[in-house]
Chains A and B, each alone.
Chain A
Amino acid sequence: MAQFNWRMPRWFHQMGSPKWFYNFGGLLQPWFTLAAFLLLTCGMVWGLAFAPADYQQGNSFRIMYVHVPAAILSQSVFLSMAIAGAIGLIWKMKIAFMVARSCIAIGATFTLIALVTGAIWGKPTWGAYWVWDARLTSTLVLLFLYAGVMALNQAISERQIAGKATAILAIVGTINIPIIKYSVEWWNTLHQSSSFSLTDKPTMPSEMYLPLLLTVLGSYFLFGLVVLTRTRAQILQTQNGASWLMQHKDISGAK
C-alpha cells in the first residue's frame, strides 16, 4: 500500500501552540477591531441613512443591513465551529477546541439576531411575524443546535472531554447547514431566494448592494475579533502559571 505521506504546512502546527496563537492573535486583534469598526460603521450608516428606498418595500427593507449579515454569519460560524472541532479531533489540538468553544455564543447571537430581525421584517412585508417556512424553520433548528452545543459544552467540566464532545455534536449538526442554504431552492418558500452573493452579479443596484457587502465583511471581522479575544482569554485561563506566560509582556507589565 502506498505510504500516505503528506504534511500540513508548518504554520498550521504552530497554530496549535498556545504561546504562538496568543502572540499571533494579539497581533491580529487591533487590525480586526479597526476593520470591523470601519466596515460596520460605514456599511450601517450608508445602508440605513443614504441608500435609496426600495420601490416596493419603502424603508422597511433597510433592516436587511442587519438581517442578511447576521443570517450569513449564523451559518458560517456553525461551519467554522465544526471545522475547528474536526481539526481538534484529527490533529489533537487544544487550541482548535478553544476556537470551537469561542464560536458557540457569537454564533447563537447571530442566529437570534437573524430570527428577530427577520420577524420584524416579516410583519410589514408578509403580514406575519412568523411562518413555518423551510428557511425559517431550519434557522430555528440551527438556534436549537447552538443551544444543544452550548449545553453540552457547559455540562462537562473536564475541558478536554467537553471540547471533543462538542466537536462531535457540531460535526453532526453541520448536516443542517446545506438544508438552510438550499431550503429556498428545494422548497417553495415564502422567504425569497438569495439575492446576495460574492461571485454572481448583484440583483440590486450598487447603492443598495455595496453597503450590504460592507456590513457582511464587517460582521466577518467582528466574528474573527470575538473568536480571537475569547480564545486568547481561554489560553490565559488554561495556561495560568506557564513560564512563557508569566514572562509575557502582557502579564509582567514590562515595556
Chain B
Amino acid sequence: MGFMLAIIRRDLLLVARQPAEMINPLVFFVLVVALFPLGVSPEASLLSQTAAGVIWVAAMLATLLSLELLFKLDHDDGSLEQLLLAPYPSWCLVLAKVFVHWLVSGLPLILISPLIAMMLFLPSDAVPTLMLSLLLGTPTLSLLGAIGAALVTGVRGGGMLLTLLILPLYVPVIIFGASSVAAAALGMPVDGYMALLGAMFVFALMITPWAAGAALKL
C-alpha cells in the first residue's frame, strides 16, 4: 500500500509539473465533440439523438490518446525498470498508475460532460445518467487500456498499434455506456445498464492489473 501511495504521489507530482498532459485530452474531447454538429448537422433534434454515442466515442478516443504515455515516459528514462525491480508485485504498480491516469484524464471528462451534453442538446434528464455511466465506464477504459499500453511499451509507433489492440476490447463498454444514456433520454430505466457497467468495471479491476503487469515484465 505504501508503495502504491508513493507511486500515486510521484505520478501526480509529475502531472502537476506538466499540466498540458492533463489539459490536452480534455481539449481533444471538446474538439472532437464540436466537430459533429459541424460535420453532421447542427439541428437540435438530430444532435440530441446522437449525443450519447458521440460523447462516449469522444471520451474513448481521448482516453486512448492519453494512454500511450502511461508507461512510455517511465520506460524511456529507465525508471520503469527500477520500479519493476522493487520487491512489490507488478500489479500494484499498474493499479497505481491507472488510478492516476483516470484521475488526470477520466475525471475531468466526467466533470465537463454536462457542458458537452448541453452543446449537443441532450435532454437534461439524461445528464445524471451520462455522468454516472462515465463514472463507471471510464475507469474500465483506463484499466483495459493499461494492457495495451503495457504491451506496446518500447515498440516503435506504439500509438497506432495501441488503438488497434484496445478498441475491440472497448466495444462492450461503449455499447452499454451509450445505450444507458439513450435509454435515460427516452425516460426508460437504466439500472440494468449500470449494473452491467459496474460488473465490467469489477471484472476489469480483477483481471487487467495482472495482465498488464505480466506484459510490462516482457
Contact = CB atoms under 8 A, between A and B. Distances in A.
Interface stretch (B27-35, B164-172, B180-188): B164-172
Contacts of B157: 155
B218 A172 contact: no
Interface stretch (B17-25, B74-82, B147-155): B147-155
Interface string A58-100: 0000000000000000000000000000000100000000000
Interface string A221-247: 000000000000000000000000000
A163 to B, nearest CB: 10
B24 to A, nearest CB: 25
B218 A173 contact: no
B107 interface: no
Contacts, number: 51
Interface in A165-214: 165, 168-169, 171-173, 175-176, 179
Interface bracket on A? 20 to 34
Which residue, A164, A168, A175, A176, has most C-beta atoms of chain B within 10 A? A168
Nearest to A175: B169
B155 A155 contact: yes
A156 interface: yes
A179 to B, nearest CB: 8
A184 to B, nearest CB: 16
B211 A151 contact: no
A89 B213 CA distance: 14
A161 interface: yes
B168 A152 contact: no
A31 interface: no
A37 B171 CA distance: 38
A141 interface: yes
Given A156-B155, A161-B218, A172-B211, A147 B147 contact: no
A168 B165 contact: no
Nearest to B163: A148
Given A168-B147, A168-B211, A148 B155 contact: no
Nearest to B170: A141
Contact of B164 (A89, A148, A173): A148
- List the 5 shortest-distance A-B pairs measured between CB atoms, nearest first: A144-B168, A148-B165, A148-B164, A145-B168, A141-B168
21 contacts: A137-B171, A141-B168, A144-B164, A144-B168, A145-B168, A148-B165, A148-B168, A152-B151, A152-B161, A152-B164, A152-B165, A155-B155, A155-B157, A155-B161, A156-B155, A161-B218, A164-B218, A165-B218, A169-B165, A176-B168, A179-B172
